[in-house]
Amino acid sequence: MKSASLALFGWLVPGGAYLILRRYAHFAIFALLVTVTFAAGVALQGGLSGPQAADLQGLDPFTTFIFRAGGFAKALAGAPYLLVFLTGSPHSFLDGRLHEYGTTLLVMAGLFNVLAISNALETRKEQP
């Protein structure tokens, strides 16, 4: 399977890249880790939405970039993100600014998923 397909499936299904490589324990643990982190972020009322143009008014370019990057990082969690986003997240970007713990956990879930994908790709390179 090509690396891009592996990465795409790994994004969609948390830990899914390990599933394709038949590393079932790694898949289970990373799937649980990403899902629990994301669920904790939603439970702590983290803001799932990225910033809108009105939210960024008056901010310097670096802060704008950081806020947009944070919004993108949340989407890296894959299926949990899509599930909550498509069913309508009740918390806006500004809600997320208020409930920073939840927002931090949402971003971490996305980064954990990227970590899983990158490590799975590296593991595949090392395999004969």
Interface residues with another protein (CB under 8 A) are 26, 29-30, 33, 37, 40, 44, 101, 104-105, 108, 112, 115-116, 119, 123, 126
* Under 8 Å between Cβ of 27 and 15: yes
Least Å distance, CB 36 to another protein, is 8
Residue nearer to another protein on the CB measure, 72 or 101: 101
| Cα distance between residue 105 and residue 116, in whole Å | 16
Q: Which is nearer to another protein, 2 or 125 (CB)?
A: 125
| Cβ at position 29, least distance to another protein in Å | 6
Q: Smallest distance from the beta carbon of 97 to another protein, in angstroms?
A: 16
Nearer to another protein, 67 or 112 (CB): 112
CB–CB of 73/107 below 8 Å? yes
CA distance 17 to 13: 8
Residue 78 CB, shortest distance to another protein, in Å, is 15
Task: Closer to another protein by CB, 77 or 105: give it.
Answer: 105
